[in-house]
Amino acid sequence: DLDWSLEGSPGRLRIGLHLDPGVGLPVDPATRDAVTAAARAFEAAGAVVELVEPFLTREMLDGLDVFWRTRAWSDMAALPAERRAKVLPYIADWAAGGAEVSGVDAYRGFAQIDAISVAALRATSAFDVVLSPTCPVAAPPAEWASPTNDPARPFEHIAFTVPYNMSGQPAVSVNCGYTDDGRPIGVQLSGRRFDDVGVLRAAAAYERLRGPQRPWPIG
């Protein structure tokens, strides 16, 4: 048996509302409204809600892109030609940008992992939970590899999620609303390092606070 429970009141939580990561795609109005409404639901239940200032920079996101392109190209280059031909063209085009990256530039990109981690931990340390959009824009067509569908701009949609991948903070995405055409909108709840239980409790609390959910899949 697990020695913890998802029961608990959100009334004592200090919640950060993060609506501007500092870089990447601008947040759609519908997404902003849905995530803000989620924060207000916590506030109505007794939680304290404060805004989180932007903390991600273009240097951080682009550096991460350079490093990951280089790593992906290294992996792809080691594949036999017949396996490399099976890689999604979008990914192949993106990874090819790492073919000529110098060791110095690859290291500078790698160093942004730590920079992002430090920035995320500093910006969120005062909060029990931080609410943000999971993605700043509505879900793209299923045929697209990313919301931009542009391998030259691959990370513009991950500015809210990638910081916690780098910092080791737990996070979960929960539906918080719908676009006018019925696509789900995700709110991300992230917490302090190692407080996975706290994040799950906050997510469970929100599921009790939010409105009725629509059948899935759509239609």
The pLDDT of residue 1? 47
The pLDDT of residue 179? 95
The pLDDT of residue 2? 58
**CATH superfamily of domain region 10-209:** Amidase signature (AS) domain (3.90.1300.10)
CA-based max dimension of the chain: 59
DSSP 12: G
149-169 tens-digit pLDDT: 999 999 999 999 999 999 999
167-205 tens-digit pLDDT: 999 999 999 999 999 999 999 999 999 999 999 999 999
68-125 tens-digit pLDDT: 999 999 999 999 999 999 999 999 999 999 999 999 999 999 999 999 999 999 999 9
Helix H or strand E encompassing 172 = strand 171-178
β-pairing, 129-133 vs 14-17, is: parallel
Spell out the domain ranges in the chain. 10-209
pTM for this entry: 0.93
3-53 tens-digit pLDDT: 667 777 888 899 999 999 999 999 999 999 999 999 999 999 999 999 999
φ and ψ at residue 153, rounded to 5 degrees: -130, 65
